[in-house]
Structure 1
Amino acid sequence: MTAEWVYPRLPAGVAEELLHSHSTVDSPELLVVASSTTHPRATWYPTAPNRVPRETLVEVQEAVRKIAHGSGWPTPISRYAGTDFDRRIAAELYRRMRILPADAASEDVWSFLSLVLLPDVALWRWPNPDRRPRYERLVGRPRNVFRRLWTRIHVLGEDVGGRLYEDEAVGLLERPVSLGGNPRTARAMAAAHLAHVERHPELPRTGLFRNAAVRMNRMAVLISPEALDDRQLTALMTEIFDAAARSLLRSADSSAPR
């Protein structure tokens, strides 16, 4: 059995200090020198059975940097390149970290990852020119540069999670509780969305997802998706996306020049 690790934790006050100092650095290249696999004020979960070895931290560091270099690091990142980087790194990060899921719920763990282990990549992906003291992309909050990608793969799986666009993943996992609050519901909706994207390449995929999400939120008032078995849940999502696709097709047809 492959071991699952617990990771070092960076207390909130220390994270804010590092965030402030890192945000004053002009170039991500200079933050490579500031990165480390340890920090004197980092802590560990008191009864942690399997502390992540330094070798694994180095592997994570090197794998993330390799993908970042392929996405143009250290030059300023465009929105398109950022989305591409996120999609490429999500599954790799999940596989390399092998973090215990309960440990992944700690904000301090992700603060360590973004501000100690990989500040050069974290601040390249999400710069902090205004020097916000608790910038949610860089401290360990749910929208942390690395945490949100790990969560995407953990909830949706590598195949589905790696194929979603950023807006789709955000809409599914970060906004309406009725969509992302249950992993089964989230996975079923994502799978139905991707299936309909392949079936209807002529439709704007983000528009398709948004239309279906509105319908799903309405449906959730009447039906509890958690109470459905897998077959019923798949049928429900197919019905919702079929309706969304028909709506968009009718709209496109009505607006086409005669």
Structure 2
Amino acid sequence: MSLLYPRLLPGESERLFASLHGRQPEELARFADVTSDRAIFAATGGTRVTRDELRLLAADLEKFAVANGFPRSLTTAGRNDFDRIAARHLHERSGMLPGEASQRQVWAFLALVLIPHVCAWRFPMREGVYLADRFKGTDLTRHTLARLWTRAHVLYDPSLPDPYELLAGLGEADLDHVMARRRSVAATPALVRAIVRAHTEDSRTNDGIPARAVHRDTLRRLLRLTAFLNLDWMSEQELLELVREQRRESRRLLAETGVNVADL
């Protein structure tokens, strides 16, 4: 049975998000809490998460962030490593099922009440302002934490020695390009897994063509195919062969035209 998490009321989400602007993460850490008077639980569908469980979740996520250089040494590798370990932890240990994880106000609570400072470390202010999508849950594919749970859920493969192995198959930017297409490519989880598998096995090809260029051109080809192919009826192996075929065609075209990765 799913654990139920607090759901921050929409008005409170707006108020707390507005209060973040101009404040450094160190200040936000002082306001972090495991409860809010303006949060509710779903009436049915699971067991309510306890305050101790929320404290442990917050402590673990902060520990992962610090271990990867936050907040002082922010590198691309550190951010990617944090995303991967946090994604696995959220999916493996949070006790959420998809129904609970689909609730925007759950993620608003986690980002605005439980660990606002960690989210601010991961996505710092720009000109004194934080980005709403990273905190409020208006778009779960861009929320600091929700996007990680979703990636782990989609890429989870129990047939592998490590079921979360595919999380390391693509970097942040390239995986974001896939998951952001939630009405087309990302609507078929098996296709997402096939894309990551094919990229992992094909990125070792030493022909001078950047793996990112092949990946992005392949993604465009797959987007066109989703307009008239029902991919939900294809097996995982059939989808993998489809992606491999599109990657071969992309690689051939890029080799002939000499298209630079910066043009993609």
Relative to the length of structure 2, the TM-score reads 0.85
1:193 to 199, 208, 212: 199
Q: Does 1:128 align with 2:134?
A: no
Tell me, in whole angstroms, the C-alpha distance in 2 between the residues paired with 1:79 and 1:25: 24
Tell me, in whole angstroms, the C-alpha distance in 1 between the residues paired with 2:230 and 2:206: 28
1:229 to 221, 226, 235: 235
2:215 to 209, 214, 237: 209
Tell me, in whole angstroms, the C-alpha distance in 2 between the residues paired with 1:131 and 1:19: 13
The one-letter code matched in structure 1 to 2:189 is P
Q: Secondary structure at the match of 1:34?
A: coil
Q: Does 1:163 align with 2:162?
A: no
Q: How many residues align?
A: 251
Once the two structures are TM-superposed, the CA of residue 10 in structure 1 deviates from its matched residue by 0.5
Q: Does 1:67 align with 2:64?
A: yes
Once the two structures are TM-superposed, the CA of residue 48 in structure 1 deviates from its matched residue by 3.9
The one-letter code matched in structure 2 to 1:149 is L
8 Å CA contact 2:198–2:240 kept in 1: the answer is: yes
Tell me, in whole angstroms, the C-alpha distance in 1 between the residues paired with 2:74 and 2:251: 33
> Match of 2:160?
none
Tell me, in whole angstroms, the C-alpha distance in 1 between the residues paired with 2:47 and 2:105: 17
> Match of 1:151?
150
Once the two structures are TM-superposed, the CA of residue 82 in structure 1 deviates from its matched residue by 2.8
8 Å CA contact 2:2–2:46 kept in 1: the answer is: no
Q: Secondary structure at the match of 1:50?
A: strand
2:246 to 235, 240, 246: 240
CA gap of 1:131–1:102, structure 2 versus 1, over 3 A, is farther
Once the two structures are TM-superposed, the CA of residue 118 in structure 1 deviates from its matched residue by 0.5
Tell me, in whole angstroms, the C-alpha distance in 2 between the residues paired with 1:122 and 1:193: 29
Relative to the length of structure 1, the TM-score reads 0.86
8 Å CA contact 1:182–1:226 kept in 2: the answer is: yes
CA-to-partner distance for each residue in 1:148-178, whole Å, 9 max, x for gaps? 1110111112221233211221111113632
Tell me, in whole angstroms, the C-alpha distance in 2 between the residues paired with 1:201 and 1:86: 30
1:101 to 98, 101, 121: 98
Q: Does 1:86 align with 2:86?
A: no
CA gap of 1:129–1:194, structure 2 versus 1, over 3 A, is same
Tell me, in whole angstroms, the C-alpha distance in 1 between the residues paired with 2:259 and 2:15: 56
CA gap of 1:69–1:219, structure 2 versus 1, over 3 A, is same
8 Å CA contact 2:199–2:215 kept in 1: the answer is: yes
- Where structure 1 has 5 or more consecutive residues not aligned to the other structure, the ranges are none
8 Å CA contact 1:35–1:116 kept in 2: the answer is: yes
Tell me, in whole angstroms, the C-alpha distance in 2 between the residues paired with 1:106 and 1:124: 23
Tell me, in whole angstroms, the C-alpha distance in 1 between the residues paired with 2:30 and 2:252: 54
1:184 to 190, 215, 226: 190
> Match of 2:4?
6
The one-letter code matched in structure 2 to 1:15 is S
8 Å CA contact 1:36–1:116 kept in 2: the answer is: yes
8 Å CA contact 2:194–2:240 kept in 1: the answer is: yes
Tell me, in whole angstroms, the C-alpha distance in 2 between the residues paired with 1:21 and 1:253: 46
